């Protein structure tokens, strides 16, 4: 039987994860699932852990579900370790978003200054986890969801010297749904190829006759906000309840229009997060409006989380409540549980994952982590060749990959100059005295979680 360990088990996403495992119980012979958290998350762990136990029982399964603050005990002889922790919890995210915004600078939890600081807080913890895994479960796979997912995966390989790791995100799944909604063709009949970085990838789409549909999708759906909303309406109707996403495709990103001629000229389809780079000013204006009202995404999520845990406390509840779809992580478990299923059963299916490039994108070195279409085997992901990008996406991709490499090097070494370098080349952070002012302010605000600086 399989032993699964989830670090950050107190997350409100845990019922999503359990729903995914329960759905796959015939293929995955699970014996035990250990939910690990820390003192600060103890109450959340107990509430959501009790719901997880009820879900397992209601499904008629005999899995042992353990709740613990003892990571080492949990990791012993694990087969799969999934990570969904947030160092500093949502209060740290509030700082990641509010401090940049207070200077009129974009505040986002995985992009710009906020994303860089989330990496700084997370890298020391993930490297500790890897050290434990080397001793306690040297054959296990690490399935990383913790954001910034691509950078954390890269840090595990580069500084943890641990290659049995796969980074995941739900955004590629949502992109496939948008394409299906745009073409009104079921997803299963389409062929997709993705390449880029986490929260920074592009894709191409073909129908089953082999005709490429990318340009049509860009013209019909990505050229204005109304047609994007229409495609998502189609997705919701065909998916029923489980298709509860918002009009941009993902709950945490507003449906602000790309520039029609720019995306059409691009020829390949951007992901939702490209809005922060392609229409930066429009996204910032929207964020500043919410900031003025005291409603950053982090604050909205904090309220949602509170409501969710109230629901989770109900002893009669033994399913994932639909209200969880207020969070951006919808379809999270389709990625996590299907990946585990595919590795365990050597399914050789297509999934989009963060893994070592190995030549898939010829514009980047072989040994860097990219988010690409891959075939998932018992040996892990085998990336599918994308080839090279045109100058516009290539220029941004190479800049962003190097920004990621500098960020994790700064996270690992705690070097102030290196950290300033990451802020300097990040396209969402302005340059000059303000760069240092912002960085210093964030270093102080997050001091407790930055032992390396
Ligand atoms: P959260 O604030 O609820 O944190 C989850 C849990 O992690 C908390 O219970 C907390 O106590 C715990 N935790 C903090 N530090 C820990 C440590 N050192 N060891 C063990 N547990 C620790 O977070 P959330 O909103 O549920 O999100 C969880 C994580 O998953 C975040 O990093 C988020 O960015 C990420 N996420 C990623 C995707 C994706 O697409 N990759 C989707 C959804 C969420
Ligand atoms: C999407 C992204 C995740 C991110 C989440 C935020 O699902 O893929 O990486 O963590 O949105 O959602 P939230 O509800 O926390 O704002
Ligand atoms: Mn993501
Ligand atoms: Mn910059």
Q: Is the CB of 121 under 6 A from ligand 1?
A: no
Give me the sheet containing 200-206, strands edge to edge.
Answer: 191-197, 200-206, 269-270
The DSSP H or E segment spanning 34 is strand 30-36
Which residue puts its alpha carbon closest to atom 3 of ligand 2? 329
Closest ligand to 89 CA?
A: 1
Ligand 1 atom at minimal distance to the Cα of residue 335: 40
Question: For the chain, what percent of residues have pLDDT higher than 70?
Answer: 99
Which one of 222, 258, 273, 332 is the catalytic residue?
273
Q: Give me 267's structure tokens.
A: 């020829």
For residue 103, how far is its CA from the centre of ligand 4 (angstroms)? Answer: 14
DSSP string, 73-123: HHHTT-SEEEE---TTHHHHHHHHHHHHHHTT----SSSHHHHHHHHHHHH
For residue 288, how far is its CA from the centre of ligand 4 (angstroms)? Answer: 19
Q: Is the CB of 41 under 6 A from ligand 1?
A: yes
Ligand 2 atom at minimal distance to the Cα of residue 199: 8
Is the reported ipTM for this assembly greater than 0.85?
yes
Q: Decide if 273 is catalytic.
A: yes
* Residue 96 pLDDT greater than 80, yes or no: yes
Per-residue confidence band for 326, with pLDDT thresholds at 50, 70 and 90: confident
64: which strand partners? Answer: 32
Q: Residue 241 has what pLDDT?
A: 54
Task: Summarize the confidence of residues 127-155 as an average pLDDT.
Answer: 98
Ligand 1 atom at minimal distance to the Cα of residue 167: 41
Q: Residue 333 has what pLDDT?
A: 87
Per-residue confidence band for 248, with pLDDT thresholds at 50, 70 and 90: confident
Contact 374, 382 (CB under 8 A): yes
Contact 134, 165 (CB under 8 A): no
For residue 328, how far is its CA from the centre of ligand 2 (angstroms)? Answer: 4
CA distances to 301, 360, 416 from 406, rounded to whole Å, are 30, 22, 11
Q: What is the pLDDT of residues 226-244, one digit of tens each?
A: 999 999 988 888 876 555 6
Which residue puts its alpha carbon closest to atom 13 of ligand 2? 328
Q: What is the pLDDT of residues 394-409, one digit of tens each?
A: 999 999 999 999 999 9
Q: Is the CB of 94 under 6 A from ligand 1?
A: no
* Ligand 2 pocket, residues with Cβ under 6 angstroms: 110, 147, 169-171, 250-252, 297, 301, 327-329
Q: For residue 20, count other CB atoms closer than 10 A to its CB.
A: 21
Q: What is the pLDDT of residues 148-202, one digit of tens each?
A: 999 999 999 999 999 999 999 999 999 999 999 999 999 999 999 999 999 999 9
Q: What is the pLDDT of residues 33-61, one digit of tens each?
A: 999 999 999 999 999 999 999 999 999 99
Contact 121, 87 (CB under 8 A): yes
Q: Residue 343 has what pLDDT?
A: 98
Q: Provide the H-helix boundaries in 184-279.
A: 214-220, 225-239, 260-266, 275-278
């Amino acid at each position: 039987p399989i032993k699964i360990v989830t670090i950050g088990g107190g997350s409100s996403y845990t019922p999503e994860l359990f729903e995914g495992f329960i759905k796959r119980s015939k293929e995955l012979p699970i014996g035990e699932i250990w939910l690990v958290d820390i003192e600060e998350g103890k109450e959340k762990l107990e509430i959501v852990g009790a719901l997880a136990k009820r879900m397992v029982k209601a499904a008629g399964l005999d899995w042992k579900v353990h709740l613990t603050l003892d990571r080492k005990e949990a990791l012993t002889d694990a087969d799969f370790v999934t990570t969904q922790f947030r160092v500093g919890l949502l209060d740290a995210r509030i700082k990641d978003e509010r401090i940049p915004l207070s200077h009129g600078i974009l505040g986002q939890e995985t992009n710009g200054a906020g994303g860089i600081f989330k990496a700084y807080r997370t890298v020391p913890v993930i490297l500790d986890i890897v050290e434990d895994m080397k001793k306690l479960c040297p054959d296990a796979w690490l399935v990383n969801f913790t954001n910034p997912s691509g950078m954390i995966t890269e840090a595990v390989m580069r500084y943890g010297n641990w290659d049995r790791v796969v980074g995941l995100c739900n955004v590629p799944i949502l992109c496939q749904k948008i394409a299906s909604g745009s073409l009104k063709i079921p997803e299963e009949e389409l062929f997709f190829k993705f390449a880029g970085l986490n929260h920074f990838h592009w894709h191409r789409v073909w129908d089953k006759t082999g005709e490429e549909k990318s340009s049509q999708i860009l013209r019909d759906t990505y050229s204005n906000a109304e047609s994007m909303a229409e495609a998502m309406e189609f997705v919701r109707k065909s998916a029923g309840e489980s298709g509860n996403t918002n009009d941009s495709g993902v709950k945490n990103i507003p449906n602000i229009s790309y520039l029609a001629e720019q995306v059409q000229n691009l020829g390949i389809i951007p992901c939702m997060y490209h809005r922060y780079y392609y229409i930066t000013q429009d996204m910032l204006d929207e964020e500043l409006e919410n900031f003025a009202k005291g409603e950053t995404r982090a604050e909205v999520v904090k309220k949602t989380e509170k409501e969710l845990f109230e629901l989770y406390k109900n002893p009669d509840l033994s399913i994932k409540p639909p209200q969880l779809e207020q969070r951006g992580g919808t379809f999270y478990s389709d990625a996590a549980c299907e990946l585990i299923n595919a590795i365990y059963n050597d399914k050789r299916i297509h999934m989009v994952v963060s893994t070592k490039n190995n030549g898939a994108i010829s514009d980047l070195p072989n040994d860097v982590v990219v988010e690409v279409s891959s075939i998932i085997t018992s040996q892990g992901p085998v990336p599918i060749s994308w080839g090279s990008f045109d100058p516009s996406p290539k220029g941004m991709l190479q800049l962003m990959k190097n920004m990621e490499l500098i960020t994790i090097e700064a996270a690992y070494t705690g070097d102030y100059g290196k950290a300033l370098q990451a802020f300097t080349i990040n396209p969402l952070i302005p340059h000059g005295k303000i760069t240092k002012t912002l960085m210093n302010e964030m270093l102080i605000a997050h001091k407790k979680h930055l032992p390396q600086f």
